[in-house]
Chain A
Amino acid sequence: DAGVTQSPTHLIKTRGQQVTLRCSPKSGHDTVSWYQQALGQGPQFIFQYYEEEERQRGNFPDRFSGHQFPNYSSELNVNALLLGDSALYLCASRGTPLSTDTQYFGPGTRLTVL
């Protein structure tokens, strides 16, 4: 049973560029959330996708956008990259969007913005 997978593992971009990160949820899960974890910090919630729509959003600017596909996989897009966007980006999946189900995390994508 595959867990949550993310790609790529590492990414280096320059300021002003755009980036796309990818996530495949755990088997049987249909809800995907994205988190940003800056160095030395706890993860911060970006948004959650369910039924191919953004359902909930944290305090992140519109430069952060996402998409969910019919197979429940998801993408996180960040436009006009800033140095402060350098972080570990974590994807988490769960079985249903509004329950107390546990969120299971992928290994993350380490984004470095130069």
Chain B
Amino acid sequence: AQSVAQPEDQVNVAEGNPLTVKCTYSVSGNPYLFWYVQYPNRGLQFLLKYITGDNLVKGSYGFEAEFNKSQTSFHLKKPSALVSDSALYFCAVRGEGSSNTGKLIFGQGTTLQVKP
């Protein structure tokens, strides 16, 4: 069965420092991977996705993610964190099989706290 793991409940970084939010996945075929961000009392905002191609994917708000097939990871990164990046981040993988391709399977989420 497909699954996503976000091993850190919370990540703390200082403003201006690089940030990494970790995600590992488990699928039997080729993964379709996504990152979303959720601000308090808001829905999920799409950041970026990996379908195929370059392992480094660039997304919204200066975020990027690195796909690593051998490590089954899809870590979210940003070279210089902003206080406004503080939010809850979710990694997700698309379901496999004809009866599951419509759904996203989410990790538990990682709270990113950027301090001034």
Contact = CB atoms under 8 A, between A and B. Distances in A.
Given A41-B108, A42-B108, A100-B94, A90 B44 contact: yes
Given A42-B107, A42-B108, A55 B102 contact: yes
A42 B90 contact: yes
A44 B98 CA distance: 18
B43 A106 contact: yes
Which residue of B41, B102, B107 has the most chain A CB atoms within 10 A of its CB atom? B102
Contacts of A33: 102-103
6 contacts: A4-B43, A31-B102, A42-B92, A45-B103, A105-B43, A110-B41
B75 to A, nearest CB: 17
A107 B103 contact: no
Contact of A108 (B43, B46, B95, B105): B43
A25 interface: no
Interface residues of A, number: 29
Interface of B: 32, 34, 36, 41-46, 49, 51, 90, 92, 94-95, 98-109
Nearest to B49: A102
A63 B22 CA distance: 36
B106 A43 contact: yes
Interface in A40-77: 40-45, 48, 50, 55-56, 58
B34 A42 contact: no
A103 interface: yes
Question: Which are the 10 A-B pairs with shortest beta-carbon distances?
Answer: A42-B106, A45-B103, A48-B102, A105-B44, A56-B102, A105-B43, A107-B43, A100-B51, A108-B43, A43-B106
A99 to B, nearest CB: 8
Contacts of B95: 45
A103 B104 contact: yes
B27 to A, nearest CB: 14
Contacts of B34: 102
A4 B42 CA distance: 12
Contact of B46 (A44, A90, A104): A104
